[in-house]
Structure 1
Amino acid sequence: MTPAVECRNLTHAYGDHTVVADLTLTIERGEVFGLLGPNGAGKTTTIRLLNTLMPVQTGSVQIFGFDVTTQAMDVRYNLGYVPQQLSIEAALTGRQNVAWFARLFDVPRNERKARVDDALGAMNLLDVADELAGTYSGGMVRRLELAQALVNRPALLVLDEPTVGLDPIARDSVWERVQDMRETYGMTVLLTTHYMEEADILCDRVALLHKGVLQTVGAPSELKSAIGPDASLEDVFRHYAGADLAEQSNEGGLRGVRSTRRSAQRMG
């Protein structure tokens, strides 16, 4: 059986700056797979290459056996995607937002209403489905984006920092529903997150990128054991990227704080 995701020698550069370097990686069907790394590690670029938002420069990517370069439409029909940036339209109701995505994914007209209701119901949003999305809380907005991504019942759900800016209760609610959908439909889930405890609990395997290079990949328990008997996944993260974390903190300074706060404010 072909894997859900297969990258071979994937390399991508912006001008002279290489952000993904010779990445070879396989994600099996049904896995929850975490792509981890500090800011600038190449995670979001990798995600965009996988979901056909950016052209592959060097190497190859296949999603369920479909080549992202030559079979992009087949790839897209198998994908659901929740980006870092907000993807809802505040002036539309929750139901209208999901229905719009159903049309984008070419869900058959005679199935759309049921699919929209199913996606909203799975995210526990049916009772507010006809209210404007601009009135939703941060957690509700993220669940609405998940409903949008799930309306075509994707085989691969891609989540780029899906719980940034959410409080712990809202984060738990989002992940509970993702797990329910995975069990119901057998989805493969690929996520990026800076919350190591999330990755540790949710992911079957994780890969850690640093400066565009794959540093390690494996089950969280295996990676922790390799560092030490009492190591956490955060210790693994620091082991591979720690030398540059303090530098990033010093250089990022107020800019990084402002960026994080802006993200949190957008999410309510």
Structure 2
Amino acid sequence: MVVKCAGLPLAVKALGGTLGTKNPSVNDWSLVYDGIKSYLRGRNDGKKVLQVAEALKMSYLDLPYQLKQCFVHLGQFPEDYKIPTTRVINMWVAEGIIQKGSSADQIKEEEVEDVANRNLEDLVLRCMIQVEKRGSTGRITCFSMHDLMRDLSIQEAEKEKFFKSVYLEDGNYQEEDDSSPPPLIQSNSTRKIRRLSLYFMESISGVIPLEYERYAHIRGLLGFCLDGRVRIECESLVGYRGRNFKFLRVL
């Protein structure tokens, strides 16, 4: 299997993370190896080794459904961003990625944080996120994603219409009473997505004109200022229109 990774460190690490979740038996590891061979046979270029992106993709495909949701969700955060665990857990719960309730087939409220932390530890074991800091109890308090892992997350998100990332570089935006939104935001693809992440490259002025008729279905709206000079307030994202976002769970 190392040979199939062509000696690429990240590919070997990703494959090792996948194997680390399996029973240490010839049978289980053979299934992974057979999956690699099957994947390579399906390629048209005749190459017999995995590229890094392909090894990462195979690691993603091996994830359970809920863990796939958690992984894809993390792609909303900017590149090289130090992600606070508490914030992520609150978002997962708010959006229903991790359920809470009292019935037998649901996770009890007091167990939600434990389940979320287990998911994070599983992603660490699979080498899909990197621990930046742990607390006194040993739990992850801050983590990050490798750039290529984040790219994979974004690619899968686009396929599933999970979220849309929009970069805004103009420092002077239209005021909230302006009728026409900027061309960058006015996109048909954003009408189907459920989450929108806005990345501001410079200082902003006015209110970002998100038309509620077009974005009323959005469940999550995140804003990040990448130059670190401006704090983005919630009201600067949606203004008075916020009351029309009836499905919004995360802001």
TM-score (norm 2): 0.28
Larger Rg: 2
TM-score (norm 1): 0.27
Q: Normalized per residue, which structure has more strand?
A: 1
Q: Which has the higher contact order (CA 8 A, sep 6+)?
A: 1
